[in-house]
Structure 1
Amino acid sequence: MDNTNQKKALINAEIGLFLRGLIIGKVLTLMVIGGLLWWLLKPNLSSRSSADSSSNQSFKTVSSNASTFGTVDDVPTASFNYGGSTAWASIRQLVDSQIQSESDRPELQLRYVNPINGSPGSSSGIRMLLDGKLDFAQSSRPLTDEEQAIAKERGFTLEQRQIGMDGVAVVVNPSLKVSGLTVEQLQQIYLGQITNWNQVGGPNLAITAFSQRPEDADTVIFPSNSNLKGQALGSNVQYVYSTTEAVRQLSKNPGGLYYASARSVVFQCSVKALPLGSTSDQLIPPYREPMVSPEQCPRQRNQLNTQAIKNGSYPIIANLFVIIKQNKGREQQIGDAYAKLLLTDQGQRAIEQAGFVGVR
């Protein structure tokens, strides 16, 4: 019996040793295989690491090469007066505040100045620049021959430097049922040649056209090369001080109509923007479709149709200009610096954040 137990113990010990050896052998085999795989894959891993490093370096290079407010040279250290287009309001609020932030150009101080007489706008801003009341002006329309002539008489010239684009939108009371207008119909309304909405496919309702006075106009619907430019507006036109006043009037007038910077009015809840076109079968909305109804606003708001403005399919484009006095003085220096700031990569991104279309 003892011999039998001894034999069993010996057998069990041998089996244990065998199993331990087998396990150790498998572990060693796996280690060898793992080492071989690491050695084979090492070049690829190094290559990938090198590629990632190269990619990161490339990203850093692109980022460091992007122009910012801080990269613009010759920005004067002082306080300057500027003014002009009310369409630029969101740029003044967003972009100009970024420019003057502590991290960018805190040495530059800009002060918006309203006209003493008349309403604020592109025309009044350029007039104030000509009169020496502003250091530079913001405009949502190009300079006129008359403005250039006045500057020349006073011993300097004016430069217009484009920094962005906007559209000119037409807005009406939300209750008005009309599919849209052609540019010609819009012009005829303001010349008093179309006076009822039934003449353009709408209800039998008199048209009340609201507008800023031509001498203070912020945007234009009569191009400078048009035969209609300079004609007197119709007796159906009622003049308003600002877009804010016009929007308030439209909400109370079912037959009212007003045109302004698309950025200023497309987002409004109390008015409805109309599609415009060169012809009645090519009407383009100034907002992104589908249109957000007044009932959905302000939970949702219409957004600017930047695609149509950028590709030129929208029929009335308003280019945004910095108007610079070329007099070799402080006005020229600040006007030039301000335009350069807006044309940096950072400035163009901020302009698009403000709801406009950049030019770069």
Structure 2
Amino acid sequence: MSQKNEIPLLILSFAITAGLIAGGFWWFTKNTGFNLNQSNSSNTNNPQVSTEKPSGKTFTSIKNVPTGLFNYGGSTSWAPIRLTVDSVITAVRPEFRLRYVETSKATPGSGTGIQSLIDGQLAFAQSSRPVLDQELSRAQQRGFSLNQIPVAIDGLAVAVNPSLNIPGLTLDQIKSIYTGKINNWSQVGGPNIPIKPYSRRITDGGTVELFVQDILGGQPFGSQVELVSTTTQALQKLAGSPGGIYYASAPEVVPQCSIRPLPLGRTQGNYTAPYQEPFVLPNECPGKRNKLNIEAFQSGKYPITRNLFVVVKQTGQIEQQAGVAYANLLLTEQGQELITQAGFVKIR
């Protein structure tokens, strides 16, 4: 064959090969969930927030769920979801096995989970607050970025002893109590009883970090704040302390029989309860229990709400696929209904 005839054939062969490669790449991205923009997100300084909407209504309808055993962990506020939702996920999708892991070197919490994720000990993490700048920096030093996917709405509830007669508190009053400027309930319209604030340590999790950052404005706790190890311990102390006050994730507080969740407001007298009215009295509990004020949480009328996040490593590896799959399962109609049963509020 002459050189003159070979040139058109070479051009045609090149065009066919390029078309096959392009078509293969399109098929790969469509069927694996790989996202080019996400894989390059380590060049940014902000956590990526997923806006992808999973298709289908049930766990069985979600595609690209990997096979294997995946370690996860983090926020203690997620405990009801781990108990209620994750067990159903593993039953419906047995190929997607989940193992909750607690590090022995630190108290469980959002920060501990995200650090373990960065260190390669977890496939994905559960967090009750957004990823921090320093966590992004540590991830980027390891060569990847972090994606935070909101899957539920939670609120912080402030609880007192059930005998305390007070209509509610403003956010400014809560700040003054925990920074030591207000130390008697008579200063906020209550009886002449010394205030005894309780809190977990700031290193114990996202709830405390969020409270210090958003409510206290970064100021330290006052010297009168008694530090406790767990919410269970705090609620026990609160039940026996007439002047006690404590804050925690609303699903951990609102249904309890031995304490009273307080209505809160941004301005004095304009309070919104974290529970559905009418309030269930302690002597009616546990036959009846207070339920979350879902409407106030969704509308933002209740003044202390937050998102719960699945935090995913942007590595393009199976751990990223596992984290995205977990979030997508929670965002199905089935997942959102189970999140409601766990005591949280649907995000969609």
TM-score, normalised with respect to structure 2: 0.80
Asked if the contact 2:234–2:246 (Cα under 8 Å) also holds between the matched residues in 1, the reply is yes
Please, which moves more after superposition, 206-215 or 288-297? 206-215
Q: 1:92 aligns with which of 63, 82, 93?
A: 82
Asked if the contact 2:159–2:253 (Cα under 8 Å) also holds between the matched residues in 1, the reply is yes
Asked if the contact 1:119–1:242 (Cα under 8 Å) also holds between the matched residues in 2, the reply is no
| Equivalent-residue separation in structure 2 for 1:242 and 1:66 (angstroms) | 38
Alignment of 1:1-360 (within 5 A): 66-101=56-91, 104-219=92-207, 220-223=210-213, 228-360=216-348
Corresponding residue of 1:13? none
Q: CA RMSD in A?
A: 1.7
Asked if the contact 2:73–2:113 (Cα under 8 Å) also holds between the matched residues in 1, the reply is yes
| Equivalent-residue separation in structure 2 for 1:133 and 1:193 (angstroms) | 42
**For the structure 1 residues 330 and 66, does the alpha-carbon distance in structure 2 shift closer, same or farther, using more than 3 Å as the test?**
closer
| Equivalent-residue separation in structure 2 for 1:356 and 1:222 (angstroms) | 22
Asked if the contact 1:173–1:253 (Cα under 8 Å) also holds between the matched residues in 2, the reply is yes
Q: Deviations over 1:130-156 (max 9, x none)?
A: 232222111111122222222222222
SS of match in other structure, 1:283: strand
- Structure 2 letter corresponding to 1:143: V
Which ranges of 4 or more aligned residues in structure 1 deviate by more than 3 Å?
A: none
**For the structure 1 residues 233 and 349, does the alpha-carbon distance in structure 2 shift closer, same or farther, using more than 3 Å as the test?**
same
Structure showing greater radius of gyration is: 1
Q: Deviations over 1:236-280 (max 9, x none)?
A: 112222211111111122211111110111001111100000011
**For the structure 1 residues 111 and 321, does the alpha-carbon distance in structure 2 shift closer, same or farther, using more than 3 Å as the test?**
same
1:91 CA drift (Å): 1.0
Q: Deviations over 1:156-208 (max 9, x none)?
A: 21111001101110011111121111011112222222222121111222222
Corresponding residue of 1:42? none
**For the structure 1 residues 193 and 146, does the alpha-carbon distance in structure 2 shift closer, same or farther, using more than 3 Å as the test?**
farther
Corresponding residue of 1:38? none
TM-score, normalised with respect to structure 1: 0.77
**For the structure 1 residues 144 and 279, does the alpha-carbon distance in structure 2 shift closer, same or farther, using more than 3 Å as the test?**
same
| Equivalent-residue separation in structure 2 for 1:129 and 1:340 (angstroms) | 19
| Equivalent-residue separation in structure 2 for 1:202 and 1:96 (angstroms) | 43
- Structure 1 letter corresponding to 2:68: A
- Structure 2 letter corresponding to 1:146: Q
Gaps of at least 5 residues in structure 2 are 1-54
Asked if the contact 2:169–2:265 (Cα under 8 Å) also holds between the matched residues in 1, the reply is yes
Asked if the contact 1:120–1:242 (Cα under 8 Å) also holds between the matched residues in 2, the reply is no
Size of the aligned set, in residue pairs, is 292
1:311 CA drift (Å): 0.9
| Equivalent-residue separation in structure 2 for 1:215 and 1:119 (angstroms) | 8
| Equivalent-residue separation in structure 1 for 2:107 and 2:229 (angstroms) | 5
SS of match in other structure, 1:176: coil
Please, which moves more after superposition, 152-161 or 332-341? 152-161
1:66 CA drift (Å): 4.3
Q: Deviations over 1:66-94 (max 9, x none)?
A: 42111111211111111112221121111
- Structure 2 letter corresponding to 1:163: V
Asked if the contact 1:91–1:354 (Cα under 8 Å) also holds between the matched residues in 2, the reply is yes
**For the structure 1 residues 118 and 178, does the alpha-carbon distance in structure 2 shift closer, same or farther, using more than 3 Å as the test?**
farther
Asked if the contact 1:139–1:320 (Cα under 8 Å) also holds between the matched residues in 2, the reply is yes
1:218 CA drift (Å): 3.2
- Structure 1 letter corresponding to 2:327: A
Identity %: 53
| Equivalent-residue separation in structure 2 for 1:131 and 1:230 (angstroms) | 27
Asked if the contact 2:149–2:311 (Cα under 8 Å) also holds between the matched residues in 1, the reply is yes
| Equivalent-residue separation in structure 1 for 2:168 and 2:235 (angstroms) | 18
Asked if the contact 1:221–1:316 (Cα under 8 Å) also holds between the matched residues in 2, the reply is no
SS of match in other structure, 1:151: helix
**For the structure 1 residues 130 and 239, does the alpha-carbon distance in structure 2 shift closer, same or farther, using more than 3 Å as the test?**
farther
